[in-house]
């Protein structure tokens, strides 16, 4: 081995990797590392903007400049395709969300003798980093950190409190799980907290699901120009710009199709964007999300037909999939193996597949390609800025 080696890429978990396969924590392409492990920064090594890096588990790649970060996201997606020997017709430009754009997050808090600590956990640890600044959360969410710290310092118990925050049309939706706020005084304090911080909704989960304490008006989230009811815990794309990029690709990929099945449709992110010139079937297993999508579609008389169905246990069958001009899938991280097998056996010819896990996506893509599909387009997407979590859009035809 030479006296020094150059870091040539970033591994899936964020370590720098040399040509010989050495994994170097904090390494960035262009850095060099000596035999003793001493790292010398190269042209793509950046100064982390946040004081909490690298302890905070919210970010893994703040030491990487924009060019190298974009390349990391690209390599993760293209590498997953190569691992399954998938030929890609066109790799589209990588989409990166900007700083301070994350509109949903789960923070953790713990009451202490001095008050409370609140923030993300350290990577691989239960220890909470006491957040004083954050370069990924939208300002509306970060503004609640100090008020929440004071509230939990007063009413927190021995166990950690999970704080779920989501920015919706009316403001911030906040759910506290594990807080010991019993009695009239505590109830009044929670209501004062919600009112003083102009929350859209405040809910408390004492182990039996969220119970709403404050909601001046029903919550909605804008999907395109459609205001869709927002049930507790509903999935929402993490950034607005990321959602727009995913939707734009789905519209481009499925241009000209007159009937579309939106599988794992959630609240209807893609269904409402595609509807109008097209008739859309939105299929979702989560009952609250299904009902919210149905209410929005019926209320605006939009041509979105909703179906409550678990596509893992009961996927759309081959003959059902064959009835649509195109299909769009946006499954959970586990992928959509059962559903993809049925699509492969169908007469479907156009599939837009959005994924939050390049590994499960690549396995599903292999099934489609083996059935005669071609992977026409592939776009890497980095909505979770400075994170190793990577997403993508893809388009298959046959």
- Please identify every residue annotated as catalytic: 356
Is 339 annotated for ligand binding?
Answer: no
Rounded to 10°, the helix 66-83/358-370 angle is 40
Rg (CA), the chain: 23
Provide CB contacts within 8 A for 216, sequence distance 6+.
170, 200
Helix (H, G, I), strand (E, B) or coil at 55: coil
CA distance 16 to 177: 37
Provide CB contacts within 8 A for 228, sequence distance 6+.
220, 221, 222, 267, 268, 272, 292, 293, 295, 296
- Residue 217 sits at φ, ψ, to 5 deg, of -145, 155
The count of C-alpha atoms lying within 13 angstroms of the C-alpha of 39, restricted to the half-sphere facing its C-beta, is 20
Locate 331 and state its tokens.
């499954």
Helix (H) or strand (E) holding 382: strand 374-382
Under 8 Å between Cβ of 220 and 239: no
Is 142 annotated for ligand binding?
Answer: no
Is 264 annotated for ligand binding?
Answer: yes
User: Torsion angle of alpha carbons 251, 257, 259, 261, nearest 10°?
Assistant: -50
Is 47 annotated for ligand binding?
Answer: no
User: Torsion angle of alpha carbons 9, 10, 15, 20, nearest 10°?
Assistant: -30
CA distance 291 to 379: 31
How does DSSP assign 292-328, residue by residue? Answer: HHHHHHHHHT-SEEEEE--TTTSPPPHHHHTTSSEEE
Binding positions: 237, 264, 284, 330
């Amino acid at each position: 081995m030479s006296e020094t080696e150059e870091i040539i890429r970033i591994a899936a978990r964020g370590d720098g990797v040399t040509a010989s396969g050495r994994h170097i924590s904090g390494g960035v392409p262009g850095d060099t590392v000596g035999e003793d492990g001493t790292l010398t920064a190269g042209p793509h090594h950046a100064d982390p903007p946040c004081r909490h890096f690298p302890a905070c588990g919210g970010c893994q790649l703040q030491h990487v400049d924009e060019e190298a970060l974009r390349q990391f996201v690209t390599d993760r997606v293209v590498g997953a395709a190569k691992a399954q020997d998938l030929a890609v017709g066109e790799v589209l430009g990588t989409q990166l969300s900007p700083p301070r754009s994350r509109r949903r997050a789960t923070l953790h808090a713990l009451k202490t003798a001095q008050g409370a600590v609140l923030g993300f956990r350290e990577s691989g640890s239960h220890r909470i980093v006491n957040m004083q600044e954050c370069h990924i959360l939208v300002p509306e969410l970060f503004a609640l950190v100090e008020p929440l710290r004071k509230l939990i310092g007063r009413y927190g118990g021995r166990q950690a409190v999970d704080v779920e925050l989501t920015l919706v049309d009316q403001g911030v939706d906040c759910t506290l799980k594990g807080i010991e706020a019993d009695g009239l005084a505590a109830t009044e304090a929670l209501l004062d907290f919600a009112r003083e911080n102009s929350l859209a909704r405040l809910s408390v989960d004492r182990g039996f699901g969220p119970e709403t304490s404050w909601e001046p008006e029903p919550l909605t989230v804008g999907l395109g120009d459609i205001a869709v009811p927002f049930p507790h815990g509903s999935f929402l794309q993490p950034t607005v710009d990321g959602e727009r990029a995913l939707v734009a690709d789905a519209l481009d990929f499925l241009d000209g199709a007159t009937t579309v099945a939106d599988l794992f449709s959630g609240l209807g992110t893609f269904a409402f964007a595609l509807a109008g010139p097209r008739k859309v079937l939105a299929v979702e297993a989560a009952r609250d999300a299904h009902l919210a999508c149905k209410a929005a579609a019926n209320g605006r008389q939009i041509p979105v037909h909703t179906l409550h169905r678990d596509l893992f246990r009961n996927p759309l069958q081959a003959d059902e999939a064959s009835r649509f001009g195109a299909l769009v899938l946006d499954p959970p991280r586990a992928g959509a193996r059962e559903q993809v097998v049925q699509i492969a056996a169908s007469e479907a010819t156009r599939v837009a597949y959005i994924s939050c896990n390049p590994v499960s996506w690549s396995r599903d893509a292999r099934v489609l390609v083996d059935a005669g599909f071609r992977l026409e387009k592939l776009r890497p997407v980095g909505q979770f800025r400075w994170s190793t979590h990577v997403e993508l859009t893809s388009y298959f035809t046959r």
